[in-house]
Amino acid sequence: MYSIKEQLPKLVLENMHLIKSFSSTTYKESFESLFKTYRPVLAHLEELYLNAADKEAFINEIAGDFVAQVKQQYDERAKKSNKESLTLDYNMIMASFAIPCILEYRGESTDALADALVAEWNASFTKYKIHKGKFADIDGSFKRKLCFITTAVCDSLGKADDCYELTLLRSFRDTYMMHTETGDQLVKDYYRRAPVLVMRMNLIRDSRHVYDEINETYIKPCISLIEEKRYEECQDKYVEMVESLTDRFIGGQHE
């Protein structure tokens, strides 16, 4: 029990640097390396779980100790860091790496442990809320391009993937931006930043309000500019959106 309590929280405590690996080109490799490292820990936990007389109490004890250790480190760092950004950092590592890593083991203890950790985490980190997500779903979202800001906004508004706004903006990207040196580089930079931005925005309790704000401030004006064939102004608005959201939700981490 002691080794599990010592080793399992390191999924978060020693892997905060993985925030920079959350992209379409690096997420899979980073996740697979993480899972390979912690698989023996999860296997030992599974063995202890199967032999536990009270499995629920065992899982709750592990989850409670896990979150307590992470919270202690968080509280220490919060004394000299931007608390808002730091909270998003911890939530992001938990939601996109730690919980998916636990779920990837697929043992009898897996779901019980993930559920207990999510519940304990949300009780301790109350401003934002994480959910239980699998690696395959997160990795697949990169391939389906579901991590992009406009798609997330339209999804929040209940609009289909082939709605007018998305179709027009994709056309603008493919027929204008991709054919200029500046625009092509902007699109590549966007693909690098957007998954992190959307993940962090989704961790906020009032993410719907954030997406409504993005829609009114950036998406609607961009649509109007494209309709009026004011393409360069639309590109400038797009840059403004990405930079503003990066400063707000990522800070200096994109450098």
Helix 27-51 vs helix 135-143: crossing angle, to nearest 10: 160
What percent of the chain is predicted at pLDDT more than 90?
Answer: 55
pLDDT of residue 49 exceeding 60: yes
- pLDDT value of residue 178: 82
Question: How far is the C-alpha of 31 from the C-alpha of 17, rounded, in Å?
Answer: 12
So what's the pLDDT on residue 144?
56
116: buried, middle or exposed (CB in 10 Å: 19+, 13-18, 0-12)? buried
**Average pLDDT for residues 112-139, to the nearest whole number?**
91
Rounded CA separation 251/144 (Å): 26
Lowest mean pLDDT segment, chosen from 104-108, 138-142, 215-219: 138-142
pLDDT at 145: 52
The tokens describing 54, both together, are 């009270």
Q: What is the CA radius of gyration of the chain?
A: 20
Quick one: tokens of 99?
A: 């919980």
Higher pLDDT, 59 or 143: 59
pLDDT digits (tens, 9 = 90+) for 149-208: 888 888 888 988 889 998 898 888 888 888 887 888 888 788 778 888 888 888 887 788
Burial zone of 158 (CB within 10 Å; 0-12 exposed, 13-18 middle, 19+ buried): exposed
Measured distance CA(30)–CA(195) in Å, rounded: 15
Give bridge partners of residue 204 from the DSSP assignment: 128
Q: Show Cβ contacts of residue 57 under 8 Å, excluding neighbours closer than 6 positions.
A: none
Per-residue pLDDT, 162: 83
* Average pLDDT over the chain, rounded to an integer: 89
pLDDT band at 246 (very low <50, low <70, confident <90, very high): confident
Biggest alpha carbon distance in the chain?
Answer: 69
Q: Specify the DSSP class assigned to residue 252.
A: G
DSSP E strands, the chain: none
By three-state DSSP, how is residue 217 classified?
helix
The mean pLDDT of 227-247, rounded to a whole number, is 92
Distance CA 153, CA 117 (A): 29
pLDDT category at 252 given cuts 50, 70, 90 is very low
Question: Which pTM value belongs to this model?
Answer: 0.79
pLDDT of amino acid 146? 45
Residues 80-105 pLDDT 10s: 877 888 888 999 999 999 999 999 99
Token readout for 158 is 């209940």
Q: What is the DSSP string of 119-152?
A: HHHHHHS-SB------HHHHHHHHHTTTTSHHHH
Residue 127 has pLDDT above 80, yes or no: no
Q: How confident is the model at residue 254 (pLDDT cuts 50, 70, 90)?
A: very low
Q: What is the pLDDT of residue 72?
A: 96
Distance of CA 133 to the CA centre of its chain: 10
Q: 3-class SS at 204?
A: strand
The token duo for 130 is 């994480």
What's the N-to-C CA distance of the chain in angstroms? 41
What is the predicted pLDDT for the residue at 143?
62
